[in-house]
Amino acid sequence: MNNPLLQEFKTPYQTAPFLSIRNEHFKPAIVEAIQMAKAEIDLITAQTAEPTFENTLEALEFAGVKLDIISSIFFNLNSAETNDEIQKIAQEISPLLSDFTNDIRMNKVLFERIRQVWEQRESLTLTVEQKTLLEKKFKSFSRNGALLNEVDQNKLRAIDKSLASLKLKFGENVLAETHHFELHLTQAEDLAGLPDDSIEEALQTAKAKGKDGWTFTLDFPSYQAIMKYSEHRAIREQMAKAYGKRGFQDNAQNNENTVKEIVALRHERAQLLGYPTHAHFVLEERMAEHPEKVIDFLQDLLVKSKPFAQREFETLEKFAQTQGLDQLEAWDASFYSEKLRKQRFNLDDERLKPYFKLEQVLNGIFQISQKLFGLHFEKTETIEVYHPEVETFIVKDADGKLVAILYTDFFPRKGKRNGAWMTSFKNQWIEKGINSRPHISIVCNFTKPTSTKPSLLTFQEVTTLFHEFGHALHGMLANTTYPSLSGTNVYWDFVELPSQLMENWAYEKEALELFATHYETGVLIPMELVEKIKESSNFMEGMATVRQLSFGLMDMAFHAQVPEWNLSLKEFEKQAIASTRMYPDVPENITCTAFSHIFQGGYSSGYYSYKWAEVLDADAFAYFQETGIFNKETADKLQHFILSQGGTDKPMELYKRFRGKEPDTAALLRRAGLI
């Protein structure tokens, strides 16, 4: 078979040849690329020369590059454009990749060569990046089975294969549950309160399904419209319960046992490697270092934020009572919060959305990036894409040199998981003097355009786009030698700094003036609205903080102790987040069975990272506020010391070089209005 994945990509900038790739190409390509990578490893271990950094560590770093690229293409499609066939292939190739990874980590000859270089490290003349790579490689072996006996290594292999399969199964179940539910309305009075564009989108969705009336789904823009605006409480309740019971129903997509198995296997794996819990294993390679520090951090923020949250909840409850509601439930939260926000600030998303046409917001972000980092974005039709909705941009610096290729994929569809994320099809690296530039992608689920209106974003969607673009900048501006240290390959509790920092510009007058114009009239957003956006930025911040802390505490409850399932999963979760609960419990709902961040993605024992990074981003943006939000010298420091450096040094060292000091936690509390 002529397999395009195994050939040199003769496409512009060697981008993925999506138009030539078929599903049947993936498994043979993965199998062949694994063999190619093994051959490259064999060349390293067969050497008779004494181990050196160059002939062992550097050679290992660039072994398997083809496999990495093919795997990235496949798993990115499995997230953004999947189908039954791709999901079946994922289940088949994940164990192969798990075996290959373990073959490397448990290769005694290879590890011995690495160990010899490691023991000589003090006498070697290495750059900071080379020292980091050596430490990272040595630990990746010693922390993942290289020091185990053969019996325990085989146990570890079995655990890793099971985990790879279970994580895929978890994600497939969540996706199936999300797309299975439909709220089909046939009476116009059932649409009371909903915005016109949401109604029009639901009309188009129903037509596409061959139905009369209006169809709403659990895709976030559709779901959010119901929760925030529907005047019918019973409809909000139906939608909320459907969203909250994904993976928690008596059907083939139930994730309860999958969660328990993942948690149990993670703990078994950690203890096999000599760690008390999975969290101890994970956090050894994080800024936080150990579970106790994370739990103390979360509890400290909870103590400081909960009084504010309780006052906000009482205010919301009293407001709802004035509207005729006796008991505030979870499905009332967004609806009455939006009403109260509108009353307090004379501001709501429907008033703002005309100023946030998607294309204008994206162009505004491009302009902000140009002002800060000298970047230029040129839309192109020459790069192949995996779906007609995907757009591509050639990114160049002020001198016209290639920086990156950027893919954007903005709208929900069948086969695309919920949420928003940044990913890469190819990392950046430097080999033989050639700086190979990255291929970066932003994937979101924003409000779709309709037959009469373009995609008009809620302000939450605006900040989401800024957030993901911050991640993209981290990937695009990467300038390191080694791919495993490039871009977002940093500690998980540091990776959210660029993304959360970027969100701050969405609230600034100087930035909004670049793009926030009415999509019909071209009139600039009134400054009174800009002020209201800033004033309302802390609205219900106490409750939002407590909600975020609940996810971090739940994550640690699963992973920082040995699980004993004498409780149901529902009861376990209730107890884990009892200190953060504001609304009455909903018996048929649960969070963990659809908590993809920690059970499918890379955030297990790391969900606290969002709040941790908020401390960093608040302190970092305070620096921009002191010097000017478009101050070139400050932006140059950010690019030089953080965005371009990836994981080449310890995160706190990188941060201190940028800021000149360690972050001040008070900056976060001040910004959030919690002190």
Residue 294 has what pLDDT?
A: 97
Q: Taking the chain, what is the end-to-end CA distance rounded to the nearest angstrom?
A: 65
Tell me how far apart the alpha carbons of residues 186 and 189 are, in angstroms, rounded to a whole number: 9
The pLDDT confidence band at residue 177, using thresholds 50, 70 and 90, is very high
Residue 465 has what pLDDT?
A: 98
Domains defined for the chain, CATH in brackets: 4-147 (1.20.1050.40), 181-244 (no CATH), 250-324+540-675 (1.10.1370.10), 354-529 (1.10.1370.40)
pLDDT at 1 over 80: no
The pLDDT confidence band at residue 562, using thresholds 50, 70 and 90, is confident
Residue 565 has what pLDDT?
A: 84
Residue 421 has what pLDDT?
A: 97
pLDDT tens per residue across span 295-328: 999 999 999 999 999 999 999 999 999 999 999 9
Residue 646 has what pLDDT?
A: 98
- Name the residue with tokens 């309780």: 310
Do residues 226 and 235 lie in contact, with contact meaning Cβ atoms separated by under 8 Å? yes
The pLDDT confidence band at residue 103, using thresholds 50, 70 and 90, is very high
Max Cα separation, the chain?
Answer: 82
pLDDT at 367 over 80: yes
Number of residues that make up the chain: 675
Q: Report, as an integer, the average pLDDT of 286-294.
A: 95
What angle is formed at CA 539 by the lines to CA 545 and CA 534, rounded to 5 degrees? 115
The DSSP bridge pattern shows strands 439-443 and 402-409 to be: parallel
Q: Report, as an integer, the average pLDDT of 205-216.
A: 96
Q: Report, as an integer, the average pLDDT of 129-152.
A: 96
314 included as an active-site residue:
no
pLDDT tens per residue across span 229-238: 999 999 999 9
Residue 665 has what pLDDT?
A: 80
Residue 321: both structure tokens together: 């009572």
Nearest to 280 by CA among 98, 143, 133, 141: 143
Q: Report, as an integer, the average pLDDT of 638-643.
A: 98
Residue 618 has what pLDDT?
A: 94
Tell me how far apart the alpha carbons of residues 506 and 361 are, in angstroms, rounded to a whole number: 9
The DSSP bridge pattern shows strands 376-380 and 429-431 to be: unpaired
pLDDT tens per residue across span 402-431: 999 999 999 999 999 999 999 999 999 999
pLDDT tens per residue across span 4-52: 999 999 999 999 999 999 999 999 999 999 999 999 999 999 999 999 9
The DSSP bridge pattern shows strands 421-426 and 402-409 to be: unpaired
Catalytic residue chosen out of the listed positions 58, 201, 468, 614: 468
The residue type found at 565 is W
Looking at per-residue pLDDT, the higher value among 565 and 364 belongs to 364
Do residues 604 and 559 lie in contact, with contact meaning Cβ atoms separated by under 8 Å? yes
Q: If you write DSSP's letter for every residue of 161-190 in order, what string do you get?
A: HHHHHHHHHHHHHHHHHHHH--EEE--GGG
Residue 675 has what pLDDT?
A: 74
- The region of weakest confidence among 84-88, 250-254, 551-555, 563-567 is 563-567
State pTM to two decimals. 0.92
Q: Report, as an integer, the average pLDDT of 586-599.
A: 97
**Number of neighbouring beta carbons within 10 Å of residue 109:** 12
pLDDT tens per residue across span 508-536: 999 999 999 999 999 999 989 989 998 89
Give every CB contact of residue 319 below 8 A, 6+ residues apart in sequence: 336, 339, 340, 343
The pLDDT confidence band at residue 666, using thresholds 50, 70 and 90, is confident
Residue 238 has what pLDDT?
A: 98
Residue 671 has what pLDDT?
A: 85
> What phi, psi does 19 have (nearest 5°)?
-70, -20
The DSSP 8-state label assigned to residue 402 in this structure reads E
Residue 437 has what pLDDT?
A: 98
Which ranges in 504-568 belong to alpha helices (H)? 509-512, 527-535, 541-559
HEC profile of 101-130 = HHHHHCCHHHHHHHHHHHHCHHHCCCCHHH
461-to-105, 337, 464 alpha-carbon distances in Å: 41, 17, 5
Q: Report, as an integer, the average pLDDT of 102-110.
A: 96
Tell me how far apart the alpha carbons of residues 441 and 406 are, in angstroms, rounded to a whole number: 6
The mean pLDDT value of the chain amounts to: 96
Sign for the CA dihedral angle at 616, 617, 618, 622 comes to positive
HEC profile of 293-353 = HHHHHHHHHHHHHHHHHHHHHHHHHHHHHHCCCCCCCHHHHHHHHHHHHHHHHCCCHHHHH
Tell me how far apart the alpha carbons of residues 383 and 392 are, in angstroms, rounded to a whole number: 7
